[in-house]
Amino acid sequence: MEYEVAALKVVLKSLLLTLTPKQKQLVIQDIKKTINDASSIYPHYQDVINKTEQYVKKML
C-alpha cells in the first residue's frame, strides 16, 4: 500500500506542475466540492475525510 500512495503522490505532483494557474484553481474547487459531498454523504467517515482533506491541502 505504501508504494501505491508514493506513486500517486509523484503522479499528482507532476500533473499539478503542468497546470496553468486557472486550471489549478479549478482542480482545487473540484477537490473542495468532492470533500464537501463526501462529508454530507458519509458523515460517519468524517475523521477520515478530515485527514484526507489535510493531506490534499499539503500537496496543493
Domain coordinates of the chain in residue numbers?
2-59
Rounded to 5 degrees, φ, ψ at 21 are -55, -40
Residue whose grid cell is 486557472: 22
- Cell readout for 37 is 459531498
Q: Tell me: the pLDDT tens digits for 1-45?
A: 788 888 888 998 898 899 999 998 999 899 999 999 999 999 999
The predicted model scores a pTM of 0.74
DSSP string, the chain: -HHHHHHHHHHHHHHHHHS-HHHHHHHHHHHHHHHHHHHHH-GGGHHHHHHHHHHHHHH-
